[in-house]
Amino acid sequence: HVFPRTRFNKDHSELLCSHDDFVQCYDTSGASCSSGCGFVEGVDMQPQQLVAAAFKERAAKNKPKFVVNVGDSFYWGGLEINCGSPMSSISATTQHQFDQVFEGIYSGPGLGGVPWLSVLGNHDWGGRVFINGWDQQIAYTWASNRWVMPAPYWSQTVHFTDLGFSVDVFMIDSNAMDAKEPTADPEHNLCSSLHNPSGASCSSAGGPPSVDECRDFFWGLWQEQQPWLEQKLADSKADWQIVNTHFPCGHEAAWYTKLHTVYGLDLLITGHRHDQELHANSDMLGGMTCVVTGGGGGISSEATPGDDHSQWYGEAQYGFYDFTISKSSILIESINYDGTVALT
């Protein structure tokens, strides 16, 4: 079932549809629904299934070599098990959620054995807490022939030997953007003292040791990744360099601009916002192209998927991107939930 979120206007200055309003829309299939919700019954009721169907149709035709996953894979609060499970085994809860949300939805011709290069989103850590089963998502790497997330940050070189080029993909964890002091912004804070239980700790899994140390853990992780990625980019011999992370285009813009202008980063792939946004040759990133691909449908979109586009940030609400890479170019197609091309 899709998680019903709030909908605001584009400036985020006016609430158009509360969570409770949206629940009413779902409960009545739109029969009793605030007009501000922009609810579209045939779309908002089943967006993940619609996106998955379009995705599978494309995969059967184009036979992708790999899939880039920007995180927030499990709504609302990640895997429903605390951190600290043995890395050598997959819990029944973990397997059930993977079966329901991943294995049972994204399968079929063109997808068997195709690697999903994945990162954690803030909701994978727990959303308003940091103790949910993020480490089981890492462990699932060794239980799956396609889910790949060996660590919170890592890299993968993909060789297209027959076509004479290669791609370096760097996965980084940007969840420091939602790691704040324990008493701050409790609804958007992994380190919230209001929502994390007393004694919360993921030290046994290599995560935050306590609520009080949570913010420093995430920002320390962010600072640890920066020189790592700069060195990786400097050493890269690949034809293309791509970064995949969770938080959307615009966060830490000065550093990403440096990665583009100094180290040659070619493309930034992000998520977090629940829509599809293609920022081609973005001025905020020194001319680098960045996409937001958060419209997978596990949660309702930022704005109505209907005909009123006045509150849209990008070109679509539910969908995905299809990247066609050659030695000399990357074609980016924004695919709407119905399989049509929204933008290239």
Q: What tokens appear for 111 in the block?
A: 């997808």
The pLDDT tens digits of the residues spanning 286-329 come to 999 999 999 999 999 999 999 999 999 999 999 999 999 999 99
The pLDDT tens digits of the residues spanning 66-77 come to 999 999 999 889
Per cent of the chain over pLDDT 70 is: 100
Asked if 259 and 243 touch (Cβ cutoff 8 Å), the reply is: yes
Average pLDDT over residues 122-133: 96
Q: What is the pLDDT of residue 76?
A: 84
Amino acid identity of 278? L
Write the burial class of residue 328 (CB in 10 Å: 0-12 exposed, 13-18 middle, 19+ buried).
exposed
Per cent of the chain over pLDDT 90 is: 98
The pLDDT tens digits of the residues spanning 166-206 come to 999 999 999 999 999 999 999 999 999 999 999 999 999 99
Q: What is the pLDDT of residue 75?
A: 87
Q: What is the pLDDT of residue 80?
A: 95
Q: What is the pLDDT of residue 132?
A: 96
Contacting residues for 32 by C-beta, under 8 A, at least 6 apart: 24, 25
pLDDT at residue 1 greater than cutoff 80: no
Amino acid identity of 118? S
- Cβ neighbour number for residue 163 with a 10 Å cutoff: 11
The whole-angstrom separation of Cα 6 and Cα 303 is 9
The whole-angstrom separation of Cα 326 and Cα 337 is 26
The model carries a pTM of 0.97
Average pLDDT over residues 36-43: 95
- Using DSSP's 3-state secondary structure scheme, residue 143 falls into helix
- With left for phi above 0 and alpha for psi between -120 and 50, is residue 10 left, alpha or beta? alpha
Quote the mean pLDDT of the chain: 96
Average pLDDT over residues 239-255: 98
pLDDT grade for 146, boundaries at 50, 70 and 90? very high
The whole-angstrom separation of Cα 290 and Cα 265 is 11
Contacting residues for 261 by C-beta, under 8 A, at least 6 apart: 286, 287
Q: What tokens appear for 77 in the block?
A: 């609060």
Percentages of the chain per state (helix, strand, coil), in multiples of 5? 30, 20, 50
Distance of CA 173 to the CA centre of its chain: 11
The whole-angstrom separation of Cα 43 and Cα 242 is 32
pLDDT at residue 23 greater than cutoff 90: yes
The whole-angstrom separation of Cα 90 and Cα 172 is 24
Q: What is the pLDDT of residue 27?
A: 93
pLDDT at residue 90 greater than cutoff 70: yes
The pLDDT tens digits of the residues spanning 260-274 come to 999 999 999 999 999
Asked if 295 and 18 touch (Cβ cutoff 8 Å), the reply is: no
Asked if 305 and 315 touch (Cβ cutoff 8 Å), the reply is: no
H helix intervals, the chain: 19-27, 41-44, 47-62, 92-98, 122-125, 134-139, 211-235, 253-261
